[in-house]
Copies of this chain bind each other. A is one copy, B any other.
Amino acid sequence: MFDFCVADHTLPFGPAGYSCKNPLMVNVNDFSSSGTLNAPNTDNIYKAGLSTAFVNTIPGLNGLGISLARVDVQPGGVVPLHTHPDATEVITMLQGNLTVGFISSNNTVYVKSIGTGDVFVIPRGLLHFQVNSGINLSVELSAFSSSNPNTQIVDEALFKSNLATKIITATTFINPIEVLRLKLLFKGSG
């Protein structure tokens, strides 16, 4: 309908994305970024980090259904079990090695060790993970089929939130002592 619809974050937004910036105010910088994919901080419990080129940093992505992220994982680090509720992810390994996998809804595991230059597809919405069991930092570039992919990390949903322990144990069958240990680890309440 339009050549493009650069996000104007000051206007209302709706199910299809952000309102468009006045086309006369659009310039090439709305479609590009420097540094958004710099090495992310990996000094955390996962020994992994993410830097993103999503619609919040590149407003020209609005409405176009695609975006990028760089994911670095230190040796021994992981991208914990998570989903992207509305996006397929396609990984390209730029450096190092990873074990990457997803699980289908009939509980089949699709897992593989990949190295530099390899590509791996994670169909939209499915649980997946990455593990760096090597001795070098791994660097991957991930493309997403959404301009603003959300990420739901199972551990954080359960243990970094205020979800009641009673509900967690009932709906995951994890024993309450383990739940409390994980709540301490992830700083959850409830």
Contact = CB atoms under 8 A, between A and B. Distances in A.
A141 B92 contact: yes
Q: Which range holds the interface residue count of chain A?
A: 35 or more
Interface in A169-190: 170-175, 178, 181-182, 185, 190
A151 B126 CA distance: 10
A167 B143 CA distance: 24
Contacts of A102: 31
Contacts of A67: 90
B146 A143 contact: no
A60 interface: yes
Interface string A55-99: 000101111111110000000001111010110101010100001
B68 A143 contact: yes
Contacts of A182: 173-174
Interface of A: 1-5, 8, 11-20, 27-29, 31-38, 45, 53, 58, 60-68, 78-81, 83, 85-86, 88, 90, 92, 94, 99, 101-112, 114-115, 117-127, 129, 131, 141, 143-148, 150-152, 154-158, 160-163, 167, 170-175, 178, 181-182, 185, 190
